[in-house]
Amino acid sequence: MRADVVVVGAGIVGLATARAIVRGHPGLSVVVLEKEVAVGTHQSGRNSGVIHAGVYYAPGSAKARLCTAGRTSMVRYCAERGIDHAVCGKVVVARDEADRKAREDADRRIREEADREILNLAGLREEEDLFASVWKSVRNRWTWLALNLVTAFIASRVIGLFEESIAQLVALAALMPIIAGISGNSGNQTITMIVRALALGQISTPSARKLFAKEIGVSALNGLIWGGVVGLFAFLIYHNWQLGAVMMGAMEMPR
Q: Is 169 helix (H, G, I), strand (E, B) or coil?
A: coil
* Banded pLDDT at 119 (limits 50, 70, 90): low
* Full-model pTM: 0.43
Q: Give the integer Cα–Cα distance in Å for 29 and 39.
A: 19
Q: pLDDT tens, 44-69?
A: 777 777 888 777 777 678 888 888 78
Lowest-pLDDT choice from 118-132, 158-172, 226-240 = 118-132
Assess whether pLDDT exceeds 70 at residue 131.
Answer: no
Assess whether pLDDT exceeds 80 at residue 214.
Answer: yes
Assess whether pLDDT exceeds 80 at residue 85.
Answer: yes
Q: Give the integer Cα–Cα distance in Å for 235 and 139.
A: 47
* Banded pLDDT at 32 (limits 50, 70, 90): very high
Assess whether pLDDT exceeds 70 at residue 125.
Answer: no
Instruction: State residue 9's pLDDT score.
Output: 92
Q: What is the residue-wise DSSP string for 204-239?
A: -HHHHHHHHHHHHHHHHHHHHHHHHHHHHHHHHHH-
Lowest-pLDDT choice from 62-66, 135-139, 176-180 = 135-139
* Banded pLDDT at 132 (limits 50, 70, 90): low
Instruction: State residue 25's pLDDT score.
Output: 92
Assess whether pLDDT exceeds 80 at residue 42.
Answer: yes
- How many other C-beta atoms can be found within 10 angstroms of the C-beta atom of residue 81? 9
Compute the average pLDDT of residues 120-142.
Answer: 63
Give the CA count within 13 Å in the CB-facing half-sphere of 79. 19
CA distances from 73 to 10, 85, 138 (A): 20, 13, 34
Compute the average pLDDT of residues 242-248.
Answer: 83
Assess whether pLDDT exceeds 60 at residue 80.
Answer: yes
Write the CB contacts of 110 (distance below 8 Å, at least 6 apart in sequence). 53, 55
Q: Is 167 helix (H, G, I), strand (E, B) or coil?
A: helix
Assess whether pLDDT exceeds 80 at residue 159.
Answer: no
